[in-house]
Structure 1
């Protein structure tokens, strides 16, 4: 393996989205990720969304570069295997409900004593403390309570969601950030490992910009605004003559002037009320109407060509078909070829971010259930006879 995280061993005890996505990101940049799965069925995501020959296509993406080890966490011998793995690991990532690992004898106190350099990343709905810690939490609830659902959707309409598991993914990104900061502390000799406590609700809330001070000082509650960006103008979604929609962001002072020239409204470009964002935001409906009147008279191609020439940020709203066909995505390596276990060729997303000297890589797609159990346990020093006994007793699979 190569990559900036080469030599880092990560144990993943998680299912579905938040912890597995965080571990996938680490695996893409060279970490050895050992995914612990329950015998028989494994991670439920193996059966989520669209399937190919009985296995989720999402699974092959979410678990690429990981090793699958089946361990029965209800077995004392299975718990002993986890402890042996943790003793040689740098990171443990989990997204069980708070207290679940403690009931298994795998709480922080136990694992820290076993391996003082271990970073334990804990992702949960509400965090490891507080009055809501024991409530079940999914990403959708994090989006609801974190504030993003309230501000998403058409004005006076029902609060909407994005079509992806946004709350889980935001928690994953915060988990990776916390993991890297803790690893830096350990690897530079500044201290021992620590707990990284990530809440789904707080991960969403962390993106909510100036929501709190606006409410506290001004009594302002930010409401839903459809395709517009509240308080920043003009920035909205506008119709085109051929039935499409284009996002135009003309919200800096010089860009606004250029945009107004393109749409044939130099009077608005020079109007004293619109020289700064606060004045434009106060009359955003007027500006949006002027831009929509122009865009609706032109095709998508004409709109994009004109705005690109004027250096005004704009883009049509892409479907997945648009993404896969786009030459920029392809040039950036964001659509990569892959092969499923049965030999089927399939396109997969590339790796983000792009590192110049130690880029991430895809070494294999999501593994079969328990594919690496034998090899990983042998790497811990267990003999073939010991592994056979654990398998016979149902501790591993």
Structure 2
């Protein structure tokens, strides 16, 4: 009897919880635009006002620094959005700003509190003018530290997420902050619908870094801990023609790895033994990436090979 090939499930329509919501963004660089991109993916109509381009920048350059130092990233972040260069410090720019504010449901900013005040965007005044408008304000750090200069790297450093002299492989605080900001937009919208008025929500990039650092603060990723190199099934090893990231952490995955290597590791604590580390390392070093990919597929072992 022929085996029936399972049919491919139909592609689900994307959920658009922010459809009909209009977001005005004044946020520059990465966290704000990344949050705005996610909101657009959730159905929001997104408009961004940028400052005029730097006078030394090439003609046609965005007023957002991201457009200057990485045009590709800028294009991805703003695809399908309406952007305009507006001098918010001028009378003409203020008029353009308030035309957009009158149509917006949520304002997204990334200015320090003093800059918001200078631009007439301090929450008390803004809420009086536009009672149903919500404000999601991205700062570097919360509370009294909101005026301090800082960036992704400094927030990661203060949360013990920078090792040696190497830069982190991505901008964790910025991207984590963008997730928190897009979450705040959703929260603001829910509260608007419940209360019939706008709310202010602050997002601090240092808090985003602190949230990402929680596993380390709990001792999960510190050297020698279960996912800090102590468990032999959760490490990066050299193999014959590259590297392999092994993530056989749960007992059944660890048992499958031990069986393939030829170990008799019958309990989870055996995976912390130096001899287990040595045996797995020796086994992986004699196999190519292709062999290990096949081995993982055949034995249901979570691993990923790298050059």
Shift in Å at residue 230 of structure 1? 4.8
Rounded Cα–Cα distance in structure 2 between residues aligned with 1:293 and 1:23: 48
- 1:249–1:313 CA contact under 8 A, matched in 2: yes
Shift in Å at residue 40 of structure 1? 3.6
- TM-score for the superposition, normalised by structure 1: 0.66
- 2:18–2:44 CA contact under 8 A, matched in 1: yes
Is the partner of 2:278 in helix, strand or coil?
A: helix
Tell me the C-alpha RMSD between the 2 structures. 2.5
Shift in Å at residue 200 of structure 1? 1.0
* CA deviation vs aligned residue, 1:76-95 (integer Å, no higher than 9, x gap): 23223212311221111111
Q: Within 5 Å, which residues of 2 pair with 1:230-241?
A: 230=229, 232-241=231-240
Paired position in structure 2 for 1:195: 200
Does 2:88 match 1:78?
no
Rounded Cα–Cα distance in structure 2 between residues aligned with 1:65 and 1:146: 36
Paired position in structure 2 for 1:110: 125
Shift in Å at residue 236 of structure 1? 0.6
Paired position in structure 2 for 1:307: 296
* CA deviation vs aligned residue, 1:85-143 (integer Å, no higher than 9, x gap): 1122111111112221111111111211122222211111112x13x221112111111
Shift in Å at residue 233 of structure 1? 4.8
Structure (1 or 2) with the greater helix fraction:
2
Paired position in structure 1 for 2:28: 15
Q: From the superposition, tell whether residues 257 and 193 of structure 1 become closer, same or farther in structure 2 (CA, over 3 Å).
A: same
Rounded Cα–Cα distance in structure 1 between residues aligned with 2:159 and 2:101: 33
Paired position in structure 2 for 1:251: 249
Q: Within 5 Å, which residues of 2 pair with 1:288-307?
A: 288-307=277-296
Paired position in structure 2 for 1:174: 180
Q: Which moved more, 1:8-17 or 1:160-169?
A: 160-169
Shift in Å at residue 191 of structure 1? 5.0
* CA deviation vs aligned residue, 1:26-64 (integer Å, no higher than 9, x gap): 122321111111124411111213xxxxxx111110111
Name which structure has the greater RCO, CA cutoff 8 Å, separation 6+. 1
Rounded Cα–Cα distance in structure 1 between residues aligned with 2:283 and 2:153: 38
Unmatched runs of 5 consecutive residues or more in structure 2 = 1-14, 55-62
Q: From the superposition, tell whether residues 233 and 209 of structure 1 become closer, same or farther in structure 2 (CA, over 3 Å).
A: farther
Rounded Cα–Cα distance in structure 1 between residues aligned with 2:21 and 2:42: 10
Is the partner of 2:113 in helix, strand or coil?
A: coil
Number of residue pairs aligned between Structure 1 and Structure 2:
285
Rounded Cα–Cα distance in structure 2 between residues aligned with 1:232 and 1:192: 51
Q: Within 5 Å, which residues of 2 pair with 1:35-54?
A: 35-41=48-54, 42-49=63-70
Paired position in structure 1 for 2:60: none
Rounded Cα–Cα distance in structure 2 between residues aligned with 1:282 and 1:316: 22
